[in-house]
Amino acid sequence: MELTGAQILCRFLKDEGVEYVFGYPGGSVLFIYDELYKQDAVKHILVRHEQGATHMADGYARATGKPGVVLVTSGPGATNAVTGIATAYMDSIPMVVITGQVPTQAIGSDAFQEVDSVGITRPCVKHNFLVKDVKDLTQTLKKAFHVATSGRPGPVVVDIPKDVTALKADYVYPTAVEMRSYNPVTRGHGGQIKKALKLILGAKRPMVYSGGGVVLGESSAELTEVVQQLGYPITSTLMGLGAYPGADRQFLGMLGMHGTYEANMAMHGCDVLIAIGARFDDRVVGDVKKFCPKAKIIHIDIDPASISKVVKVHIPIVGGVKEVLEELLAALKTTEQQRDEDALAGWWQQIEEWRAKKCLSYANSSELIKPQAVLEALYKLTDGDAYVASDVGQHQMFAAQYYPFKEPRRWINSGGLGTMGFGLPAAMGVQFAYPDETVACITGDGSIMMCIQELATAKQYGLPVKILSLNNGYLGMVRQWQEFFYDKNYSQSYMETLPDFVKLAESFGHVGLRIDKAADVEGALKEALSRKDDLVFMDFITDPSENVYPMMEAGKGHNEMLLRELA
């Protein structure tokens, strides 16, 4: 059947099973918008800024595991999308971003709204394509979805010149895709797995360090089973939270810069480290020279380039986390090797001593609202089952510390790029996927302003997101660093003219609540959660001086943390 490029795109998205396209129209994509208008299989969500579209698609992808799809126009549409593309890239989120382009014959002429989208996005995509011939469109789209979702996932950009959307070609939905240059490994090397098992079972002070790869690889169940069979302690990166149940005794909390005392101390003291789907990020590792000084390291990862990139590992296993953990489980069941029970008992005793420090305790107040208390109340009132999308700053770290996620894909945050402005649109993307679930957006007075315009989108589509703004009047994370490391020179970190968030929410047609007394926190949350159909913006006026602890400074080891001093 002969179809125009625009028709092919719409048909393809439908055949690929795409539910939502998050986008914003413009000159180069008008043929596409005309076709979207004539169909109803794919729902187009009109955002208010292209950054919002990318974060929405990203939030949708993180919550569902399905690729998020974005459609933007050429030039400024594409450049506005770059932050969201880079955000998805850093966290390996599957996403397909379709950018309009000026007509093929105008490319290179500095035409109106022309930018080299493929060039601009090259360093922050898994791959990108410029479609120069309508005959290549279908195959290219198929490749884009394949590359975005397989192996280590990531965003893929498909740049489509306007004339290509008007010209015609045959369309048949391709069920298969072949790329001789792209064949990601999934099965781990059997020999390596055997070697790893021997080391694992021989450990006296083992530690499991799991990351976002476990979530992306849908291997939370396998991870949980392996760890529970072994009875070993486990910590998680910011990106991996929820892959192992957060309230379980074997879970020591998050590790790294704002990790728990017990998790970081156990990292420092362990003799065998089992890294699973994690990439030894600098916020996790601290000073490389001081990292796990006594440990032999096993690293399971789908991306060979992640292995020994930062820290040299002893037993690398390249493969899908799920496949490797399944094999490890099978091997565990048949092995005759015994664990060193005495050593393990001693190790756990040591860990319990560290845990007894209760590094996350804080001096609650009956007047000032403590940000931690807001998160604890949210956890209690949602039974720990909410989807929580976060922005970036202190509030993000408090959310990671005080909302112990039970399941994967519930914690939605920009870990790698740390993009302020991510929270609200990401929460909205989650809400599109799960209209009946509670979706909370934890944000700050700084971050929320970066994509605030999406409140209009939320109104248009009736998304009942619950926004918890932990309003400390500061770019709190910046203020904290200035307090600790820059002589308390609070340079440009104080937000002098914040809007009245209640009125602002109301002006967009939402419900706004201002909460400034500790005693009112639970009541406000209950009210907001009971409003099933409304977006509620809760402006919590929190203690402006609160800091995130524990803290491992840059250049320090895991055993050199700053702890909160309680009076």
Partner 1 sequence: MRHIIAMLMENEPGSLSRVAGLFSARGYNIHSLCVAPTEDPTVSRLTLVTREKDEGIVEQITKQLNKLVDVIKVLDLTEGEHVERAIMLVKVRATGARREELKRLSDIFRGRILDVSSSTYTIEVTGVGEKLDAFIDALEPKSILEVVRSGALGIGRGTKSLRV
Ligand X SMILES: Cc1ncc(C[n+]2csc(CCOP(=O)(O)OP(=O)(O)O)c2C)c(N)n1
- Catalytic positions, written as ranges: 50, 112-113, 162, 477
Q: Which of 63, 62, 34, 59 is nearest to 47 (CA)?
A: 59
Is 10 or 477 the residue whose CB approaches ligand X more closely? Answer: 477
Give the one entry of ligand X, Mg ion, partner 1, none that residue 309 binds, where binding means its C-beta sits below a cut-off of 5 to 8 angstroms depending on kind: partner 1
Least distance in angstroms from the C-beta of 543 to partner 1: 41
User: Which one of residues 69, 147, 275, 451 is an interface residue with partner 1 (CB under 8 A)?
Assistant: 147
Task: Count Cβ atoms within 10 A of the Cβ of residue 535 and give its class: 0-12 exposed, 13-18 middle, 19 or more buried.
Answer: buried
Cα-to-chain-centroid distance, residue 284:
15
Extract the tokens encoding 511: 């419900």
Least distance in angstroms from the C-beta of 24 to ligand X: 20
Unique residue bearing structure tokens 């569902």: 64
The span of 302-310, 355-363, 425-433, 480-488 binding partner 1 (CB under 8 A) equals 302-310
Interior CA angle at 394 toward 388 and 399, to 5°?
25
Q: Does 108 bind partner 1 (CB under 8 A)?
A: no
Is 226 or 475 the residue whose CB approaches ligand X more closely? Answer: 475
Helix pair angle (5-15, 30-37), 10° resolution: 50
CA distances from 59 to 238, 385, 455 (A): 16, 17, 16
User: Which one of residues 45, 56, 130, 317 is an interface residue with partner 1 (CB under 8 A)?
Assistant: 130
Give the one entry of partner 1, ligand X, Mg ion, none that residue 312 binds, where binding means its C-beta sits below a cut-off of 5 to 8 angstroms depending on kind: partner 1
The DSSP bridge pattern shows strands 536-541 and 466-471 to be parallel
User: Which one of residues 99, 394, 413, 457 is an interface residue with ligand X (CB under 6 A)?
Assistant: 394
Q: Does 472 bind Mg ion (CB under 5 A)?
A: yes
Q: Write each residue from 396 to 435 as x if it is in contact with ligand X (CB under 6 A), else as -, in one continuous string.
A: ----------------------xxxx--------------
DSSP code per residue over 84-142: HHHHHHHTT--EEEEEEE--GGGTTS--TT---HHHHHGGGSSEEEE--SGGGHHHHHH
- The region, left, alpha or beta by phi > 0 then psi within -120 to 50, assigned to residue 308 is left
Half-sphere exposure of 49 (CA within 13 A, CB side): 20
Q: Count Cβ atoms below 10 Å from residue 308 Cβ, excluding itself.
A: 14
Is 321 or 420 the residue whose CB approaches ligand X more closely? Answer: 420
Q: Does 304 bind partner 1 (CB under 8 A)?
A: yes
DSSP code per residue over 292-354: STT-EEEEEES-GGGTTSSS--SEEEES-HHHHHHHHHHHHHH--PPP-HHHHHHHHHHHHHH
Give the one entry of ligand X, Mg ion, partner 1, none that residue 392 binds, where binding means its C-beta sits below a cut-off of 5 to 8 angstroms depending on kind: ligand X
Q: Does 181 bind partner 1 (CB under 8 A)?
A: yes
Q: Which of 481, 404, 469, 461 is nearest to 441 (CA)?
A: 469
Least distance in angstroms from the C-beta of 490 to ligand X: 12
Task: Count Cβ atoms within 10 A of the Cβ of residue 495 and give its class: 0-12 exposed, 13-18 middle, 19 or more buried.
Answer: middle
Give the one entry of partner 1, ligand X, Mg ion, none that residue 181 binds, where binding means its C-beta sits below a cut-off of 5 to 8 angstroms depending on kind: partner 1
Q: Does 476 bind Mg ion (CB under 5 A)?
A: yes
Give the one entry of partner 1, Mg ion, ligand X, none that residue 182 binds, where binding means its C-beta sits below a cut-off of 5 to 8 angstroms depending on kind: partner 1
Is 228 or 453 the residue whose CB approaches ligand X more closely? Answer: 453
The Cα 548–Cα 389 span in angstroms is: 19
Give the one entry of partner 1, Mg ion, ligand X, none that residue 4 binds, where binding means its C-beta sits below a cut-off of 5 to 8 angstroms depending on kind: none
Most distant CA pair in the chain, distance: 75
Give the one entry of partner 1, ligand X, Mg ion, none that residue 391 binds, where binding means its C-beta sits below a cut-off of 5 to 8 angstroms depending on kind: ligand X
Give the one entry of Mg ion, ligand X, partner 1, none that residue 420 binds, where binding means its C-beta sits below a cut-off of 5 to 8 angstroms depending on kind: ligand X
User: Which one of residues 101, 237, 472, 547 is an interface residue with ligand X (CB under 6 A)?
Assistant: 472
Extract the tokens encoding 371: 């940000």
Is 205 or 395 the residue whose CB approaches ligand X more closely? Answer: 395
Q: Write each residue from 425 to 464 as x if it is in contact with Mg ion (CB under 5 A), else as -, in one continuous string.
A: -------------------xxx------------------
The span of 85-93, 426-434, 443-451, 516-524 binding ligand X (CB under 6 A) equals 443-451
Least distance in angstroms from the C-beta of 152 to partner 1: 8
Extract the tokens encoding 253: 């909390």
User: Which one of residues 100, 277, 446, 550 is an interface residue with ligand X (CB under 6 A)?
Assistant: 446
Cα-to-chain-centroid distance, residue 247:
21
Q: Does 393 bind ligand X (CB under 6 A)?
A: yes
The DSSP bridge pattern shows strands 234-236 and 127-130 to be unpaired
Give the one entry of ligand X, partner 1, Mg ion, none that residue 123 binds, where binding means its C-beta sits below a cut-off of 5 to 8 angstroms depending on kind: partner 1
Nearest 5°: phi and psi at 471? -85, 100
The residues binding ligand X (CB under 6 A) are 391-395, 418-421, 444-447, 470, 472, 474-478
The residues binding partner 1 (CB under 8 A) are 118-119, 122-123, 126-127, 130, 147, 179-182, 303-305, 307-309, 312
The residues binding Mg ion (CB under 5 A) are 444-446, 472, 474, 476
